[in-house]
């Protein structure tokens, strides 16, 4: 059975979303606290964006739909950054421009999704699982970097970051760096392709 998400999103949208989400993981510091912030942004923004598109469809706004979506995404990220500023000021200062990267991917999927005969529920059922997968990927990716690269687990707390030190000398501090993140990203992709190849070869027998 074909995946409903990939049926509904063009290959270009999926590739763009993947690359922007991966870019957000790579340029951001490899801390679990950062992953929670980005993953929450990804899921909340995509859900609200789907609701907003349905509102525009109800209002029969067609000519300026893309402009309105773009505006909504940018305004939401500013709002999200302000809420983060009040909750964790140092993390808000640290992330800054990184918060706009998931917004680009959300805009690309919202803009490129095939929505000619959609109602709200079908739109949400297509958008939310895809973004939950990416959110999960961000958390796993940053958790690996945090634990192996920094030797810590970082969690959000009111006013700052709670840091649990697992070991004083991190076993793979290279993974804490951006070149290390690129290498980890390539390894995850290669592993995924190997598993996919193995799965289809077993299924084909």
Partner 1 sequence: MALKIDAAESGRILTVMTLIIASFFLLDLLFIYLTRARYNNGLADSIEEVLNSTIKSENEKYFVGDRVQLRSMLDTSCALYKVQSAVDKDDLFVVVARIATYAGPFPAVFLYNSDSGARFVSFMNISNSNKDMLNRLSQSQLHYWKARVEKMLGGATWQTQ
Binding flag, residue 79, partner 1 (CB under 8 A)? yes
Residue among 130 and 170 whose Cβ is closer to partner 1? 170
Binding flag, residue 58, partner 1 (CB under 8 A)? no
Binding flag, residue 89, partner 1 (CB under 8 A)? yes
Residue environment code for 9-48, b if the CB has 16+ CB neighbours within 10 A, otherwise e: beeebbebbeebbbbbbbebbbbbbbbbbbbbbbbbbbbe
CB of 177 to partner 1, least distance (A): 4
Residue among 107 and 150 whose Cβ is closer to partner 1? 150
Classify the C-alpha dihedral 117-121-124-126 as positive or negative: negative
Q: Which helix (H) or strand (E) holds 87?
A: helix 65-87
d(CA 152, CA 166): 5
CB of 205 to partner 1, least distance (A): 45
Residues 129-188 interacting with partner 1 (rule: CB under 8 A): 149-152, 154, 159-161, 163, 165, 167-170, 173, 176-179
Contacts of 194 (CB under 8 A, 6+ apart): none
Q: Rounded to whole angstroms, what are the CA distances from 38 to 54, 180, 205? A: 24, 20, 41
Residue among 178 and 195 whose Cβ is closer to partner 1? 178
Count the site residues for partner 1 by CB under 8 A: 49
CB of 25 to partner 1, least distance (A): 10
Q: Which stretch binds partner 1 (CB under 8 A): 40-48, 62-70, 133-141, 193-201?
A: 62-70
CB of 156 to partner 1, least distance (A): 11
d(CA 75, CA 56): 16
Q: Nearest-CA neighbor of 119 among 55, 34, 203? A: 55
Binding site for partner 1 (CB under 8 A): 27-31, 59, 61, 63-64, 67-68, 71-72, 75, 78-79, 82-83, 85-86, 88-96, 98, 149-152, 154, 159-161, 163, 165, 167-170, 173, 176-179
């Amino acid at each position: 059975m074909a995946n409903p998400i990939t049926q509904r999103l063009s290959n270009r949208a999926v590739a763009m979303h993947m690359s922007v989400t991966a870019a957000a993981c790579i340029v951001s510091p490899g801390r679990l606290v950062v992953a929670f912030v980005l993953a929450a942004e990804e899921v909340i923004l995509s859900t609200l964006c789907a609701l907003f598109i349905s509102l525009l469809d109800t209002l029969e706004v067609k000519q300026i739909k893309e402009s309105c979506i773009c505006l909504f995404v940018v305004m939401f990220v500013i709002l999200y950054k302000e809420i983060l500023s009040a909750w964790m000021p140092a993390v808000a200062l640290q992330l800054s421009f990184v918060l706009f990267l998931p917004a680009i991917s959300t805009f690309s999927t919202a803009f490129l999704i095939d929505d000619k005969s959609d109602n709200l529920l079908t739109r949400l059922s297509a958008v939310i699982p895809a973004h939950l997968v990416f959110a999960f990927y961000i958390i796993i990716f940053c958790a690996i970097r945090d634990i192996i690269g920094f030797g810590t687990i970082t969690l959000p707390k009111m006013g700052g970051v709670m840091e649990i030190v697992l070991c004083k000398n991190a076993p793979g501090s290279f993974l804490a760096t951006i070149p290390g993140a690129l290498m980890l990203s390539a390894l995850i992709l290669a592993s995924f392709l190997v598993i996919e190849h193995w799965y289809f070869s077993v299924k084909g027998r």
